[in-house]
Amino acid sequence: MSDDPAITARAVRLAQRRLGSAGGEVRGRVLSRLAALLRDESDGLLAANRRDLQEARESRLAPPLLGRLELSRAKLEILVEGVETLAAATDPVGRVLRRTELDEGLELRQVTSPIGVLLIIFESRPDAAIQIGSLAIRSGNGVLLKGGSEARHSNRALVDCMRRAVAGEGLPPAVISGVDGRQAAQALLEHDELIDLVIPRGSGELVRAIQSATRIPVLGHAEGICHLYLDAAADPDMATRLAVDGKCDYPAACNAVETLLVHRDFLPLLPRVAAALREAGVELRADARARESCPGAVAAGERDGATEYGDLILAVRTVDSLDEAVDHIHRFGSAHTDAIVSADAEARRRFLDEVDSASVFANASPRFADGFRYGLGAEVGISTSRIHARGPVGVEGLLTTRWLLEGSGQSAGDYGPGKRAFIHRPLSL
């Protein structure tokens, strides 16, 4: 890329217009080329990744980060299969969402379109470069990719493959451009005239820091303080299963349960749930009423019930009613994913209606909140923002719409009181 990141961004913008209007078949062929290239170049890609790993070990990167940084042959094969699936997928661009006959010979269509230029900021995992890059190509967007410095050899090699795949179809490779260094990324955040959306994939702090630093819209997630509410009418087996799955399946995930809300009428059955959780190694931090039913639980402190532990720790709170459970979720939750366990259909209906979170579940583990599990295909991320895209976001999150109007010479001044009237007839898609 150029020394001036704004010059790079401008080149991405110009290149994106070519990719965006190239047609879905061409974008599909770019992705097929990319899959083939990733296979052909796998030795070189893995070598680049080993350089990163070597340097990371020398600079004593923490073991979990080393794990994320590593690109094995198996991981690469999964990535390639993902790219192939996207290559074969229906073109998401130009889909007609609405058609209206405004008047005879005057037809309006609302169609899906690429957003434009995306700035993707991600940490450690080099697979993210391919996942997001291929989603961007599929949806006709241009991308500025800023990866972690610890993955720079891997990212450079992967971006190079993507650019060659784009160029192979006669399109400008600038549509996918790497951004080197934090300073360059900071400078780009100033350019809301060149960049349409920032997608940070990383910690909640990273997301908040970026939101504060830019006028560009940000699609990111804050934290996940998810609740499992055991209703008065909860089946104790199901309650136990979902509490253990929700907390222990992957405690570091944003959709893991952090607080167990327990209806007071369920307290007599709580010891079973608590025993299973303790057996799975979970530390319980319970309020006074719940502690009587949770032998071995420690007393909850001030921050328990409002904390994303990301670990085998679970707050347990007693509530007197479903209303109190819903209020607690609204007050202390992060509107990410919340679930009720209940055999009472009316309680489930109220919970699903009233809880204002991105994902609201009844009798299912909060851990299902995930783009792959929802069947969205490749996942852009999980959004805790409320506008544009909310919850697990698939390729639709990288699309906007345009309104296309085809007429036969109509003037707007010909319509109005005492003049022509609009028909506004909805047409089938």
Footprint of a second copy on residues 128-187 (CB under 8 A)?
none
Closest CA to 216 of 135, 121, 125, 337: 121
Q: How does DSSP classify residue 298? A: E
Binding of a second copy by 11 (CB under 8 A): no
- The nearer residue to a second copy, 3 or 414, going by C-beta atoms, is 414
* Cβ–Cβ < 8 Å for 225, 313: no
Give residues 299-358 in contact with a second copy (rule: CB under 8 A). 330, 341, 348, 352-354, 356-358
Binding of a second copy by 429 (CB under 8 A): no
Ranges assigned E (strand) in 104-168: 106-114, 117-122, 142-146
Residue linked to tokens 């809880």: 355
Of the candidate residues 55, 91, 249, 324, the single one contacting a second copy (CB under 8 A): 249
Of the candidate residues 299, 405, 421, 427, the single one contacting a second copy (CB under 8 A): 405
Binding of a second copy by 386 (CB under 8 A): yes
Q: How far apart are CA 139 and CA 154, in angstroms?
A: 24
Q: Encoding tokens for residue 404?
A: 């296309």
Residue environment code for 51-76, b if the CB has 16+ CB neighbours within 10 A, otherwise e: ebbeebeeeebeeebbebbbbeeeeb
Residue environment code for 392-420, b if the CB has 16+ CB neighbours within 10 A, otherwise e: bbbbebbbeeeeeeeeeeeeeeeeeeeee
Binding of a second copy by 375 (CB under 8 A): yes
- The nearer residue to a second copy, 150 or 223, going by C-beta atoms, is 223
Q: Which long-range contacts (CB under 8 A, 24 or more apart) does 211-214 make?
A: 213/186, 213/189, 214/189, 214/190
Binding of a second copy by 385 (CB under 8 A): yes
Q: How far apart are CA 410 and CA 378, in angstroms?
A: 43
Q: Compute the least distance from the CB of residue 50 to a second copy, in Å.
A: 26
Q: Compute the least distance from the CB of residue 152 to a second copy, in Å.
A: 30
Give residues 203-222 in contact with a second copy (rule: CB under 8 A). 211-212, 215, 217, 219
Of the candidate residues 3, 58, 413, 429, the single one contacting a second copy (CB under 8 A): 413
Residues recorded for the chain: 429
Binding of a second copy by 420 (CB under 8 A): no
Which range touches a second copy (CB under 8 A), out of 1-9, 40-48, 130-138, 387-395? 387-395
Binding of a second copy by 363 (CB under 8 A): yes
Of the candidate residues 387, 418, 419, 428, the single one contacting a second copy (CB under 8 A): 387
Give residues 99-128 in contact with a second copy (rule: CB under 8 A). 100, 102, 106, 108, 113, 115-116
Give residues 40-99 in contact with a second copy (rule: CB under 8 A). none
- The nearer residue to a second copy, 299 or 343, going by C-beta atoms, is 343
> CA torsion sign, 403 to 199 to 20 to 191?
positive
- The nearer residue to a second copy, 8 or 113, going by C-beta atoms, is 113
CA distances from 53 to 56, 71, 162, 178 (A): 5, 9, 22, 20
Binding of a second copy by 238 (CB under 8 A): yes
- The nearer residue to a second copy, 47 or 345, going by C-beta atoms, is 345
